[in-house]
Amino acid sequence: MPAPHAPRPAACGALLLAAALAATPWAARAAPALDAQEALRAGEAVIGTQPGAHLLLDRQGRPVALASLRGKPLLVSFVYTGCFQVCPTGTRTLQASLRSLYETLGATQFNVVSIGFNPPADSPEAMRAFAAQHRIDEPNWDFLSAPPATVDALTRDFGFRYVATPAGFDHVLGVTVLDAEGRIAAQVYGERITPEQLGEPLRRLLRGVPMPARASLAGLIERVRLVCTVYDPETRRYRYNVGLILEIAGGLTFLLAMLLFFGLEARNRRRARRAAA
pLDDT at 175: 95
CA angle 226, 231, 237 (to 5 degrees): 130
**Residue 229 forms beta bridges with which residues?**
240
- Check pLDDT > 70 for residue 29: no
Q: How far apart are CA 257 and CA 250, in angstroms?
A: 10
Judged by average pLDDT, the poorest of 135-144, 149-158, 237-246 is 237-246
**Model confidence pLDDT, tens digit, residues 199-231:** 999 999 999 888 776 655 555 554 444 443 443
Q: pTM for the full model?
A: 0.68
> In the predicted model, is pLDDT for residue 139 greater than 80?
yes
pLDDT > 90? residue 33: no
Q: What is the CATH number of domain 32-239?
A: 3.40.30.10
Q: What is the pLDDT of residue 184?
A: 97
| pLDDT of the residue at 46 | 96
Distance between CA atoms of residues 94 and 112, nearest Å: 10
Q: Would you list the DSSP string of the chain?
A: ---B-PPPP-HHHHHHHHHHHHHS-TGGGSPP---HHHHHHHHHHTTT------EEE-TTS-EEEGGGGTTS-EEEEEE-TTBSSHHHHHHHHHHHHHHHHHHHH-TTS-EEEEEE-STTTS-HHHHHHHHHHTT---TTEEEEE--HHHHHHHHHHTT--EEEETTEEEEB-EEEEE-TTS-EEEEEE-SS--HHHHHHHHHHHHHTPPPPPPPPHHHHHTT--BSSEEEETTTTEEEE-HHHHHHHHHHHHHHHHHHHHHHHHHHHHHHHHHHH-
Other beta carbons within 10 Å of 230: 15
Kindly report, residue by residue over 229-246, the tens digit of the pLDDT: 443 445 444 344 444 444
Tell me what pLDDT residue 250 has: 59
**With 80 as the cut, is the pLDDT of residue 27 above it?**
no
Rounded to whole angstroms, the Cα distance separating 84 from 169 reads 12
> What's the confidence (pLDDT) of residue 87?
87
What pLDDT shows up at residue 119? 94
User: Residue 128 above 90 pLDDT?
Assistant: yes
* pLDDT given at position 245: 45
Domain ranges of the chain: 2-31+241-277, 32-239
- What is the predicted pLDDT for the residue at 217? 55
pLDDT, the chain, mean:
79
Residue 66 has pLDDT above 70, yes or no: yes
- pLDDT of 111 reads 96
